[in-house]
Amino acid sequence: MNPIKSLVAAVAVSFASFGALAQSAPDLAATPRVDQRQANQEQRIDQGVASGALTTRETHRLQKEQHLIDRAEDKAKADGKVTPHERKRLHHLQNRASRDIRRQKHDAQTRHR
């Protein structure tokens, strides 16, 4: 085999294996747990609205809190990597939002029907 063809073949194999390796590498900016919790919390807010357990004011406040978490997540992902510190902060924000949702859904205030 021609030395140039051998070199081209070796380079092609290297690029192909690098591409496969890059595809199998974990996405360091992925936050599936954060995304799932966001979806769950938004569903809990919607359920509170449907049942009348949340007033309009409480709903807006809780939705604003969810929006702030979305913005914090976007900021954490901006550099392509979510650090353990950023992940911990997102979980802390979500824990607080979860407590706020529960507190507002179970207080004495209800939407007037």
Per residue in 66-113, pLDDT (tens digit) is 999 999 999 999 999 999 999 999 999 999 999 999 999 999 888 865
CB atoms within 10 A of CB 105: 19
Q: Which residues fall within 8 angstroms of residue 57, CB to CB, at 6 or more apart?
A: none
- Which stretch of 12-26, 49-63, 98-112 has the lowest confidence by average pLDDT? 12-26
Provide the mean pLDDT of the chain: 86
Q: CA–CA separation, 51 vs 45, rounded Å? A: 10
pTM for this model (two decimals): 0.74
Ranges 21-25, 53-57, 65-69: which has the least confidence: 21-25
* Integer Rg of the chain from CA: 23
Burial classification of residue 77, based on how many CB atoms lie within 10 Å of its CB (0-12 exposed, 13-18 middle, 19 or more buried): middle
Name which residue leads in pLDDT, 18 or 31.
Answer: 31
